[in-house]
Chain A
Amino acid sequence: MLGSDGAGLAKSARRTAMHAIVLLKQILDWELPPSRFRIDPETHRPPDNLGPTLLGPFEQNALEFALQLRDAGIVDTLTALLAGPADSADALRKALALRCDEAVHVEVGADESTDPSQTAELLLAAIRRLEPAELVLAGRQAGDWDHGQVGYLIAERLKWPAVGLVWRAERSDGRLRVWRSGSAGVEQLAVRPPAVLTVTSHPSLRLRMGSVMDRMAANKRPITRWTLDDLELSSEQLAAARRVELTRVWVAEVERNCELIEGEDPAEIATALLGRLEELKLLTRPG
C-alpha cells in the first residue's frame, strides 16, 4: 500500500492520464423551506425525515468537474467516494449513472460525528486503500455543516498541494492549469499533481443528466462497502482525530420588522421610498 508521505503516489503522477477520486456527500435538502427547518437540541442536528436527502450542491459541481476532466482526457478513471450512513448511497448511484468507474461507500453510523478532521481521517483511510490517485476532488464545502475543511485536511495529511474554489482546469506541460475565484478576481495557478482541488459553483459546472440506460444499469453496478474494520481504523483512533466540540446548535431567530412602502402607482411608491430613506439617513440629500 502507499505510505502517508505520498512518495509512492508521486511516481504515478508521471502517467499522462490520471485516476481521480471525487468525494461525495449526501445531505438534507438545502432548499428545505425555512418554515420546516428544525434542529433537535439533543442531537445537534435536524431530525430525520425532515425532507429529502440529496447529493450536496458543491459535490455536484465537483462531480461535474471530474466528468468534464474525463471528457477532456485529463482523467481516465474516476472513483466516487462517500462516507455516510447506509441510506446515503443514492449519491453513489447517481455517480455510477454518470459512468464513474467505481463507487466506494464508507459506512458510518447515522449519528456519527460532524468533525471535519474525523471525516478527513475516514476518507484518507479509504483513499489509501484505493488505487493510487493523482487527483482528489472535493466540493468547496458541504451544504450542511459548511466547514469547508475536509479537502484541505486530506491534502495536508497526504502532503499534497491543494488549490481551492476551482471551476476550470486544463492540462499544461505536465501540470494542471486551474482557474479559481480568488480575492484578486479570477486567478490562474499551475498545479503539479498529485493534488487536491476543491470545486466551487459555476454556471459551467451544472451536473449533467445521465442516460436512462446508464441510470437503470447503475442500480445493478456494485458499490464497494467498507466499514471501520475494513479500513483498519478503530473507533478510538477515530475519536482521537476529533478537533472541535459542538456545544450548541440553534435555529437563527429572524425578527420581522419590515416597513412596507405603499402607494397608488410605482412612481408614488418610488418617491415615498426615497423620502423614507432620506429620513432614515440612509440616503444623502442631493446638493
Chain B
Amino acid sequence: MIVAATWDGPHLGPASREVLGAAVRLGAAVGQQVAVASLGPEGSGAAEESGGYGVAQAFVVEGDCAASGSEGSIAVLAELARELGASAVLLSADDRSAEIAPRLAERLGGSAVMHATAIEVHDGRPVWTRPVYGGKALATISAASEPVVATLRRGAFRAAEVTGGAAAVSTRTAPPTDGAVEFVGSEAPVAGASLEDARVIVSGGSGVGNVEGFAELEELARLLGGAVGASLAAVDAGWAQPDRQVGLTGKVVSPDVYFAIGISGASQHLAGIAGAKAVIAVNTDPEAPIFGRARLGVLMDCRQFLPALIEALRRRASPR
C-alpha cells in the first residue's frame, strides 16, 4: 500500500494533489493501492476529494494533531502505516514534513528519502532521485528497508488526474502523546500571497542593494499580480523577512513566471526554483549562473532597469 499524507482541509491543495499524483502513478507501477491520511483541520473534505483521484481508502484523523508539534502526526501515521502494511509513505516536502519523515521512517524501521524530485521503478522497486550538494548534483538512491517515507519536492511531480470514483472514508483518533512538545502559537507570514502557490513571483537578491530596492520589487509584484520572494543573501542582509526566502532551505516554488532580480543563481537558489516554468533574469553579470536557467534575460543593473520596467507596466495598464 502506498500511503499519501495531507494536512489540507476541507479541500486538497496543489501540493497534496502533486503527492497524490506521484502516489497513484507509483501505485500503478508497483501494483499497490493508494490510501490517503488526512490530518488537517476539517480533513474529511480533503479525504473525500481524494477519492476522485483514484484513491481507494481515506482516513480522517480527528483531534488536533498539531497541538503536539509533529509528535501526534508521527504517531498516527506510524499506526496507519503499520496497519496497512505500507511500502511507502509520501508527503509533500515542507517545513512540517522535514521533522516528520525521518522520525516516521525510523519508527517504522524503514528509510527516509528527503526532497525527492523523481521516482522510477526498476524491477518492481522504486528508485528515488534527489538533489545533493546544494542542488549542484543529483543522486539516485534505493531503500534497503521498507517502508520508505519520502518527501516530494513541490513542482517536481504532476498533479493527480481526476478519474472519478470514491474512497472508503473512515476516521481515526490521533493517539495521545507524552506532552513533551506543546504548540504555543503561530504568527502568520507578514506579506500576502503564499510563495509556494503563487503563479508569478518577483524575487530579489544581493543585486537589489538595499531595503528601498525591495520596496520597488513589491510595486513590481503588485503590478504583475504576484508575490515577492528573496534570495538567502537578501534575507541575510535584512532586506526581506526569512519567510520570503526562496531556495533549497527556504521555499521551493513553481510559478509560471519567476523574475530573478539581481540574483546570481547560486545552486541552492536554483534548487528552489526548479519548478518554475519561465525564469526572467535581470543581472549585470553575463556569466551569472541564473542565465543558464533563465528563458529571458536583461543584462543591466536592476536598480536602473526596475524603474523602467515599472513605468512600462504602468503605461501598459493605463495607456493614454
Given known A-B contacts A146-B115, A185-B186, A244-B142, A261 and B296 have beta carbons under 8 A apart: yes
Name the residue on B nearest A276 (C-beta).
Answer: B296
B183 touches A189 (CB 8 A): yes
Q: Does B263 contact A (CB under 8 A)?
A: no
Name the residue on B nearest A164 (C-beta).
Answer: B99
B98 touches A164 (CB 8 A): yes
Q: Does B166 contact A (CB under 8 A)?
A: no
B143 touches A243 (CB 8 A): yes
Give CA–CA (A262, B305) in the complex, Å. 12
Q: Does A2 contact B (CB under 8 A)?
A: no
A273 touches B137 (CB 8 A): no
Q: Does B198 contact A (CB under 8 A)?
A: no
CB distance from B254 to the nearest CB of A (A): 14
Given known A-B contacts A146-B248, A254-B292, A258-B296, A249 and B267 have beta carbons under 8 A apart: no
Given known A-B contacts A157-B106, A165-B99, A260-B299, A147 and B114 have beta carbons under 8 A apart: yes
A residues less than 8 Å from B137 (CB atoms): 37, 39, 249-252
Q: Does A144 contact B (CB under 8 A)?
A: yes
Give CA–CA (A30, B135) in the complex, Å. 10
Give CA–CA (A260, B288) in the complex, Å. 13
Binary flags per residue of B127-161, CB closer than 8 Å to A gives 1, else 0: 10011111111111111110000000000000000
A185 touches B132 (CB 8 A): no
Given known A-B contacts A146-B132, A185-B186, A246-B141, A266 and B307 have beta carbons under 8 A apart: yes
B98 touches A140 (CB 8 A): yes
Name the residue on A nearest B141 (C-beta).
Answer: A244
Give CA–CA (A206, B313) in the complex, Å. 39
B residues less than 8 Å from A190 (CB atoms): 181-182, 184
Q: Does A271 contact B (CB under 8 A)?
A: yes
A residues less than 8 Å from B184 (CB atoms): 177, 188-190
Give CA–CA (A252, B268) in the complex, Å. 13
B312 touches A258 (CB 8 A): no
A274 touches B312 (CB 8 A): yes
- Chain A: interface residue total (CB-CB under 8 A): 88
A202 touches B141 (CB 8 A): no
B111 touches A244 (CB 8 A): yes
Give CA–CA (A261, B296) in the complex, Å. 7
B102 touches A37 (CB 8 A): no
Q: Does A186 contact B (CB under 8 A)?
A: yes
- Chain B: interface residue total (CB-CB under 8 A): 89
B residues less than 8 Å from A247 (CB atoms): 127, 140-142
A residues less than 8 Å from B71 (CB atoms): 161
Among A152, A191, A200, A283, point to the contact of B103 (Cβ < 8 A): A152
A-B pairs with lowest CB-CB distance, top 3 = A266-B308, A270-B312, A243-B111
A-B contact pairs, 30 of them (CB 8 A): A31-B266, A46-B133, A141-B249, A145-B133, A146-B131, A148-B115, A161-B181, A163-B69, A163-B181, A164-B70, A164-B98, A165-B95, A175-B182, A189-B69, A191-B182, A201-B242, A202-B242, A243-B105, A244-B111, A245-B143, A246-B141, A254-B289, A258-B293, A260-B298, A260-B299, A266-B307, A269-B305, A273-B312, A276-B296, A277-B280
Knowing that A161-B180, A259-B296 touch, tell me 18 more A-B residue pairs with CB under 8 angstroms.
Answer: A28-B133, A37-B136, A37-B137, A146-B134, A148-B115, A163-B99, A164-B98, A175-B182, A186-B187, A186-B189, A192-B180, A243-B144, A246-B140, A254-B292, A261-B296, A266-B309, A273-B280, A286-B316
Q: Which of B's residues lie within 8 Å of A, judged by CB?
A: 7, 69-71, 94-96, 98-99, 101-103, 105-107, 110-115, 127, 130-145, 178-189, 224, 232, 235-236, 238, 242-243, 248-249, 256-257, 266-268, 277-278, 280-281, 289, 291-300, 304-305, 307-309, 311-313, 316-317
Q: Which of A's residues lie within 8 Å of B, judged by CB?
A: 28, 30-31, 34, 37, 39, 44, 46, 58, 116-117, 140-141, 143-149, 152-153, 155-157, 160-165, 167, 175, 177, 180-192, 195, 198, 200-203, 206, 242-252, 254-262, 265-267, 269-271, 273-274, 276-277, 280, 282-283, 286
